[in-house]
Amino acid sequence: MAEKRTETDGKPEDTQDPPPGSGLSRKERAQVRESVKPRPAVIYEIIRVQGEAELRRPASALWWSGIAAGISIGFSFLTEAALAAHLPASEWTPIVAKLGYAVGFLIVILGHQQLFTENVLTAVLPVMARKKFHWFVKMLRLWGIVLAANLAGCFVFAFAIVRLPIIPADLGPSLANIVTSVMSNTPVEMFAKGIGAGWLIAALVWIIASTEGVEFLVILLLTYLIAFFGFTHIVAGSVEAIYGVLTGLINVEKALFGFFLPTLAGNVFGGTVLFSLLSYAQVREEIYAERADH
């Protein structure tokens, strides 16, 4: 005799319909199913698939998108300086002005441009899942192309606002103040604060993959926190560092060894070693259990 199937057959245990005796109509039970949040394993898989797609993109596509991101991220530096210059002098002025830091990230992420710190998470998950050397090589290729392109875009933006009559002259002091503030950190502080920025960007990628319709607010909040806490970001900070070199505020050695290298290490550590590994650890058993079932 054929086995009688129940209403919940074939559904994961955590997304089964409420039992018929729960007092809910069929429409209400459908609403319950739709409101169930995706499991961490689902979010992990979404980001992993996105990462594999990025790893397969042609070098030229990564390069030009990365340059666009480097130019766009410069508006974080410029907008923060503009707000600081035009707001009245007060104790709360820096708090409000730091909202401008989110502008460049909004342009980059909502515009689907290639940003190095985003790729730290999305590119590493396929490598952790596949455990194949050629995937590791693909990850290094992606990182190298995108980081170089981002820096090229940062240079274009910084050179333009220094050499071309694009911005009002009265923004100069505010731009210089931002550079001076960032460069006052020691290399150890740059590294430590880079960990915080790397973690927040990785968290941003994770949250966006698990939500819909709130991307603007998530990007605004988390990137604002980077500026609010004084964390250091390798791409946004490179615009500031290059501007400082071009205007004589700092020298190349200070930009390279005082900012770039320690911040890069901090961002990669925060986004890869900490966030990526912990994200993988929390879903690893579920993923392998599901594969074993199949």
* Residues 233/175, Cβ–Cβ less than 8 Å: no
Say which residue, 290 or 199, is predicted with more confidence. 199
Region 101-127: what's the mean pLDDT?
Answer: 91
Q: Kindly tell me if the per-residue pLDDT of 21 is higher than 50.
A: no
Region 121-135: what's the mean pLDDT?
Answer: 84
Band (9; pLDDT cuts 50, 70, 90):
very low
Percent of the chain whose predicted confidence (pLDDT) is above 70:
84
Q: Kindly tell me if the per-residue pLDDT of 181 is higher than 80.
A: yes
Band (233; pLDDT cuts 50, 70, 90):
very high
Q: Kindly tell me if the per-residue pLDDT of 37 is higher than 50.
A: yes
How high is the pLDDT of residue 31? 60
How high is the pLDDT of residue 131? 79
* Host H or E run for residue 142: helix 133-163
Give the pTM. Answer: 0.84
Q: Each residue of 150-177: pLDDT tens digit?
A: 999 999 999 999 999 999 999 999 999 9
Region 66-88: what's the mean pLDDT?
Answer: 97
Q: Kindly tell me if the per-residue pLDDT of 286 is higher than 80.
A: no
Q: CA of 211: how far to CAs of 53, 90, 118, 204, 217, in Å?
A: 20, 37, 17, 11, 11
Bin 162: left if φ > 0, else alpha if -120 < ψ < 50, else beta: alpha
- How far apart, in whole angstroms, are the C-alpha atoms of residue 102 and residue 105? 5
How high is the pLDDT of residue 36? 63
Q: Kindly tell me if the per-residue pLDDT of 18 is higher than 70.
A: no
66-80, 131-145, 215-229: least confident range: 131-145
Say which residue, 47 or 34, is predicted with more confidence. 47
Q: Which residue matches tokens 């508006």?
A: 75
Q: Kindly tell me if the per-residue pLDDT of 83 is higher than 50.
A: yes
How high is the pLDDT of residue 33? 63
Domains by residue range for the chain, with CATH? 40-288 (1.20.1080.10)
Say which residue, 91 or 120, is predicted with more confidence. 91
- How far apart, in whole angstroms, are the C-alpha atoms of residue 244 and residue 150? 17
Say which residue, 77 or 33, is predicted with more confidence. 77
Q: Kindly tell me if the per-residue pLDDT of 15 is higher than 60.
A: no
Q: Kindly tell me if the per-residue pLDDT of 4 is higher than 80.
A: no
Angle at 109 between CA 201 and CA 221, to 5 degrees: 55
